[in-house]
């Protein structure tokens, strides 16, 4: 669940890099804790928001600041680095009934900018599927977001408690240029 939000955040970072002054060469922006946030939101019993973030991930954004339609994002997340307000809830999310961190120690996203978003593939729980991310922008930040159906990635445990969908969002604040 958290990986999805991470992907959305990475898309936001990609847009931030594209907002700089026009240049002819591509720029490489590292994606790691400290300059990026990867997280998710699910709704327990369809009502109560449950949030989580990942503490260990790495990747990069390769972008052409002169052409915001041109970028490539790749990120890999360590599933066991999930951080949540409750240790018991975190352990349940990482258990075999949900993310199964022992069998699937990483999540990954790779994609390219398209008009208004990122067209990419999410590998989660051993399943790779297309997951487009919408990009949102304001004067000082970028965000990318998507919703996914857990069952599409083979995560079917705890259907009432965890809900059928997970919202992901990735965001960043732009540094002053």
Per the CB < 8 A criterion, the answer to whether 73 and 118 are in contact is yes
Predicted confidence (pLDDT) per residue in 20-43, tens digit: 444 457 778 788 888 888 899 988
Q: What percent of the chain has pLDDT over 70?
A: 77
Domains of the chain: 2-173 (2.40.128.110)
pTM for this structure?
A: 0.80
């Amino acid at each position: 669940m958290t990986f999805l939000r991470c992907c959305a955040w990475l898309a936001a970072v990609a847009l931030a890099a594209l907002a700089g002054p026009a240049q002819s060469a591509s720029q490489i922006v590292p994606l790691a804790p400290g300059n990026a946030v990867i997280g998710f939101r699910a709704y327990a019993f369809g009502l109560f928001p449950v949030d989580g973030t990942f503490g260990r991930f790495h990747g990069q954004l390769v972008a052409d600041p002169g052409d915001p339609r041109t970028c490539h994002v790749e990120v890999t997340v360590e599933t066991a680095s999930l951080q949540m307000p409750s240790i018991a809830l975190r352990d349940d999310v990482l258990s075999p009934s949900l993310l199964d961190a022992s069998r699937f120690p990483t999540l990954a996203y790779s994609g390219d900018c398209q008009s208004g978003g990122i067209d990419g593939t999410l590998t989660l729980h051993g399943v790779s599927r297309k997951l487009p991310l919408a990009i949102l922008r304001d004067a000082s930040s970028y965000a990318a977001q998507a919703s996914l159906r857990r069952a599409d990635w083979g995560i079917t445990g705890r259907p009432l408690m965890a809900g059928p969908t997970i919202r992901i969002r990735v965001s960043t604040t732009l540094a002053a240029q």
